Structure 1
Amino acid sequence: MSGRTKKQHTVPRFYLRHFTQADGELWTHDCLSNSVRKTTPEKTAFETNIYTPVGEDGSRIELIEDALAKIESEAALIYPDLLAFRSLPHDAKAIFACFLGTMFARSPTQLRQFAQAMGQTAGKLVMEREFREKEKNGGLTGADVAVQDLLHNNDLYRMDVDRRVGLVSFQQAETLAQLMTRMAWNYEISDRQQIVTSDNPMFWVRGSGGPRSGIEPYGFGLANRCAVIPFPISPNVILRLDWNSPIAWTKLPLERKRAKLANQYQAKHKERLLFFRDLDQGFAALGMKYMNTIKQIDIGVPGPQIDVVRRL
């Protein structure tokens, strides 16, 4: 790819432009610094080479970044139809579902949590296999036994995992897109409460039809018939995907209480950034209230503390 882009946006610029004011700027709250700043979509939510790891030959692998650019371009052409509350034909729905799948996979939250999950399993599995091989061959030493005891005492050690391991999250995008094309899509419109978005805007929660309300961080996949995706597409519209709605492509009123709940979901799922059109210090307070991102990926097995770092 000629003229490659080092500054890669974790949230697409075209998406954030739909949350800007007339001057083309929006507000960003960063919960790590507890700061609010007004900026353009070009100058927020980006990192250097986050999607272009270095290959064995020392060159950057552009596959993910190139794919994201193509998917974004196609989704941007469909976006005006969503803002006009139109019904999408099947092909356009599939394209936008693919975009939503990558919105899930590309977020810093998913990269970090996938890396944590990989580190939690892979490191232990390799060391466990080596121990069993030595045990089988009669080659165990006292040091091996001591290391094995340490391995199974999760309170005594921590592990660093390279965040680039989390790029495997993109393997989930196609499966998620296929599921989303089968869901019912509707528009929820908030007239009295501004809607925020975040650096991890694509997630699912348990709908009111489930046996329990609230967010299920573990054992609750998108195929679950209680899953609901509340994806903000503008400061007053949420694109709602669910399995149980008897209608589709319908404009539904979003009462203020539920709009606030949608903002709370964004704050709970964000990695660090909330985005909003009009300045509201209540959103800054919301971002600080939910500083710790909800855990969406849990392998269900106790493990050591995993620290995800940008590079080992």
Structure 2
Amino acid sequence: MKRPTKRRHHTVPKFYLDRFANGRHQLIRIELPGTKRNTLNVKDATVHTDFYLVEAEDGTWTDKVEDSLSEVEGAAATAIRTLIEDKPWPIPHQVREAIAGWTALQYLRTPAVRQAGSQILDMAVKLAIAAGGREEMRRHLEGIEGRPVTNAELDKMWEAMTAFDEYTLDAHPNAHIQTMSDLLPGTTRLFYSRAWNLVQFERKALITTDTPVVLLSGPGQDPSMPIGLATAGGVLVPLDRRVALIMGEVGVDDELTHGSAVIAQSLNQRLAHEARRYVFHNPEDSPLQGIVLPEPRTQEVETDDPGSFLREEPQE
């Protein structure tokens, strides 16, 4: 049986992190909330073993998704280099398309998106158990077993499955890959069609994070409320330690902006706020002065307590 050969999967690609690294491909990695920091090579950052493996119908696992990711990354690496170093204006279609596609993929591919899917599944199943009650569980068990379930068996299963704090449910990795596949075309079109503002810095430096594509609230939106792809006022992604891309409204012209110290600090604060576990920057830079680093984020979805939906039921 052929085994997957690509085991070290980067959830943020090396080519991208290298644009924030020094000449030796090194980054400073800060672990939130900022008490731990170390220097590491880009090849060792954001590595998750087997993260993009897919289970085939015959039960084997394949690393073919990594090949697809590499194709998108290769096109984006060329496009970002062209945009930053050659400075074509207006932005050529092929450059815009490649960067929009990679940015969409980067938004969808992170562990945060996978975790959100698992937390939604966990909440949905537990709410269904609580709302359905004991007799619904009896019917479900009898459908699986193909026989009547005794009260003692039901009691044991009910006690275990309503101890909601004692277990969590994780979605299958294939579900995340399917979500990426389903949402990528539409997300790419959405990012492509927004007005692009390239914010360029001469001396001030940008950070990046383990979640480098950030949705921004728009005018009149409560910044404390969740932001969706369709409702976001903008999309921020640092392309380089000296260049940020902000995708704004649809139907207006692209812009070039000369970045200031105030803008750099504002963008870095927003990026840091949306990091899940790690912030990265070039060892030669000091971009975190005045930046408040958050606690690591472990919850992606605000959920109701399923235990509050349990009701007292008469037992036979």
Task: Give the alignment's TM-score, normalised by structure 2.
Answer: 0.77
**Quick one: distance in 2 between partners of 1:292 and 1:123?**
25
Superposition deviation, residue 124 in structure 1 = 4.1
Choose 95-104 or 261-270, whichever is displaced more: 261-270
- Distance of 2:60 and 2:156 partners within structure 1: 40
Name the amino acid aligned to 2:230. Answer: A
In the alignment, does 2:225 pair up with 1:239? no
8 Å Cα contact 2:205/2:287 also seen in 1:
no
Alpha carbons of 1:301 and 1:91: their partners in 2 closer, same or farther (altered >3 Å)?
Answer: farther
Normalization by structure 1: what TM-score?
A: 0.78
| Deviation for aligned residue 1:195 | 0.6
The answer as to 2:95 corresponding to 1:92 is: yes
Supply the distance in 1 between the matched residues of 2:26 and 2:107 (Cα, whole angstroms). 24
SS at match of 1:37: strand
Q: Percent identity of the aligned residues?
A: 17
- 2:33–2:294 CA contact under 8 A, matched in 1: no
Shift of the 124–88 alpha-carbon distance from structure 1 to 2, 3 Å rule, reads same
Question: 2:224 & 2:94 partners in 1: Cα distance?
Answer: 31
Aligned pair in 2 of structure 1 residues 246, 150: CA closer, same or farther (>3 Å)? Answer: same
3-state DSSP of counterpart to 1:172: helix
For the aligned residues, what is the CA RMSD? Answer: 3.6
Which of 193, 215, 222 matches 2:229?
Answer: 222
- Structure 1 residues without counterparts, runs of 5 or longer: 305-312
- Structure 2, unaligned runs of 5 or more: 143-147, 308-316
Q: Do residues 290 (structure 1) and 306 (structure 2) align?
A: no
Q: How many residues align?
A: 295
> 1:293 deviation in Å?
2.5
Change (3 A) 1:122 1:190: farther
2:170 equivalent to 1:161? yes
More displaced stretch, 125-134 vs 12-21 = 125-134
**Bigger shift: residues 198-207 or 88-97:** 88-97
Q: How much has 1:51 moved relative to structure 2?
A: 0.5
- Aligned partners of 1:183 and 1:149: how far apart in 2? 51
Q: CA deviation at 1:24?
A: 2.7
Matched with 1:210 is: 220
> Would the aligned equivalents of 1:268 and 1:293 in 2 still touch at CA under 8 Å?
no
Contact 1:18 1:234 in 2 (8 A): yes
Of the three residues 98, 103, 107, the one matched with 1:104 is 107
Q: Deviations over 1:65-88 (max 9, x none)?
A: 221111111111211222133333
Give the counterpart of 1:182 among 182, 188, 193.
193
Query: 1:1-312, aligned counterparts within 5 Å?
Result: 4-31=5-32, 34-84=35-85, 85-86=87-88, 87-122=90-125, 124-125=127-128, 128=132, 131-132=135-136, 157-161=166-170, 164=173, 165-170=175-180, 171-207=182-218, 209-212=219-222, 214-217=223-226, 220-224=227-231, 226-243=232-249, 246-248=252-254, 250-278=255-283, 283=288, 289-293=293-297, 297-298=301-302, 301-303=304-306
Structure index of larger Rg? 2
SS in 2 for 1:204: strand
Q: 1:46 and 1:146 mapped to 2: Cα distance?
A: 41
Q: Secondary structure at the match of 1:27?
A: strand
* Shift in CA distance, 149/11, structure 1 to aligned 2, threshold 3 Å: same
SS at match of 2:283: coil
One-letter identity of the residue aligned with 1:6: R
